[in-house]
Copies of this chain bind each other. A is one copy, B any other.
């Protein structure tokens, strides 16, 4: 059983402009979470948000009998605004861990992370996980942001990754342009058979990455975002279209069959 759970805010702070890192004290069942999995979050007895909101797990750790779940999020609307106002001790309701996380290959030599904005959240958890488990794996991270004030999640990644490359839309820091452009520059460096790519970010970025990888047969898993109501596969609200290998398209639930998919299977639309 993983029923909806009362949890409390342990700490919260704004890391870079509009981005909040919240630590939630959660039940021990959360310890088992895998990178790429998510939780559904809501307030108790107050709206907005009316529906729970999905957030990737940014990290999990235990201290004594307590388990702490970190989420890292950007304020984009009513729900995230309401969450950003929570203070230590405030009550939350969380459900999880949910969904199918990233596949972690024990043998691969190079892991490449490509993050667009707050898409860094699940990738940072993955980096942490791989950094601990498979010593010797090289992790390279490409981090895209709007401008230098919103480069999110950098500190933690710099500690884990062999290299962190930054791009900004306005060129105020690092490469000037989309993070996919930055990755494209280095693409030749990564051997197909020993490189695993993981990515998360806005849809146009993932679409760009998909194009880029058309003739590059290395593994690439992406974590997708879709509006969700239930988070557990019941409402059929969160579907995306998959079209693996040119087969007939089919709708799958991001919350249940995902949120992690093979980038080649996803139909990103226009």
- Complex Cα–Cα for A82 and B91 (A): 13
Chain A interface residues (CB < 8 Å from chain B)? 45-48, 78, 81-82
Copies of this chain, count: 2
What residues of chain B lie closer than 8 Å to A48, measured between beta carbons? 45-46
- Complex Cα–Cα for A46 and B78 (A): 10
A211 CB to nearest chain B CB (Å): 41
9 contacts between A and B (CB under 8 A): A45-B48, A45-B78, A45-B81, A45-B82, A46-B46, A46-B47, A46-B48, A46-B82, A47-B47
- Complex Cα–Cα for A48 and B81 (A): 17
Interface of A is mostly: mixed
What residues of chain B lie closer than 8 Å to A78, measured between beta carbons? 45
A-B CB proximity, top 7 nearest: A46-B46, A47-B47, A46-B82, A46-B47, A46-B48, A45-B81, A45-B82
Give the residue name and chain of the B residue nearest to A91 (CB): B85
Give the residue name and chain of the B residue nearest to A46 (CB): B46
Give the residue name and chain of the B residue nearest to A81 (CB): B45
What residues of chain B lie closer than 8 Å to A46, measured between beta carbons? 46-48, 82
Give the residue name and chain of the B residue nearest to A43 (CB): B46
Known: A45-B81, A46-B47, A46-B48. 6 other contacts (CB 8 A): A45-B48, A45-B78, A45-B82, A46-B46, A46-B82, A47-B47
What residues of chain B lie closer than 8 Å to A81, measured between beta carbons? 45
A12 CB to nearest chain B CB (Å): 15
Give the residue name and chain of the B residue nearest to A82 (CB): B46
What residues of chain B lie closer than 8 Å to A45, measured between beta carbons? 48, 78, 81-82
